[in-house]
A = this chain, B = another copy of it.
Amino acid sequence: MRGLHLTADLHHCQCDAAWLLDAARLGVACSDAAQAAGLQVVGELVHSFPPSAHGPGGVTTTLLLAESHLCVHTWPEQRAVTLDVYVCNFGGDHSAKAQALMGTLLALFLPQRTERHQLQRGTIATTFTPTP
């Protein structure tokens, strides 16, 4: 269960609006990015939320990985996104792959401001480290 959990909260994303609205397109991009990073996708689930009084509905994409999971939530009315990449160390240290996947997704959404953190999971010596 030991491994690395990366979080990123993205504000003012400058990407094409489709990345915030089109669950199927985002799902394919996430799966491609995970595989390109060397992670193994074992399941995928996407959901589109209906429009609300605040604006168009966001989307959620979750990939189940052999190494754990990726979760993406979008809020198109705020041009905001949250990202979670968690990789356990089963079969090796996959930290670099997690960082690569996170980097690809940040480059996709093009946020003007990002809050990033990382958490070491499954160890008593848990540390929370804000990422510059």
Contacts and interface: CB of A to CB of B under 8 A. Distances in A.
B43 A71 contact: no
A31 interface: no
A51 to B, nearest CB: 13
A78 to B, nearest CB: 7
Which interface class (under 10, 10 to 19, 20 to 34, 35 or more) fits A? 35 or more
Chain A interface secondary structure, helix, strand, loop or mixed? strand
Contacts of A122: 9, 80, 82, 115
Contacts of A123: 9, 115
Given A7-B5, A69-B73, A64 B45 contact: yes
A74 B44 CA distance: 18
A51 B42 CA distance: 15
A126 B130 contact: yes
17 contacts: A1-B73, A7-B119, A7-B121, A9-B126, A42-B49, A43-B46, A43-B62, A45-B64, A47-B64, A60-B64, A60-B69, A68-B73, A69-B71, A69-B73, A71-B71, A115-B126, A128-B130
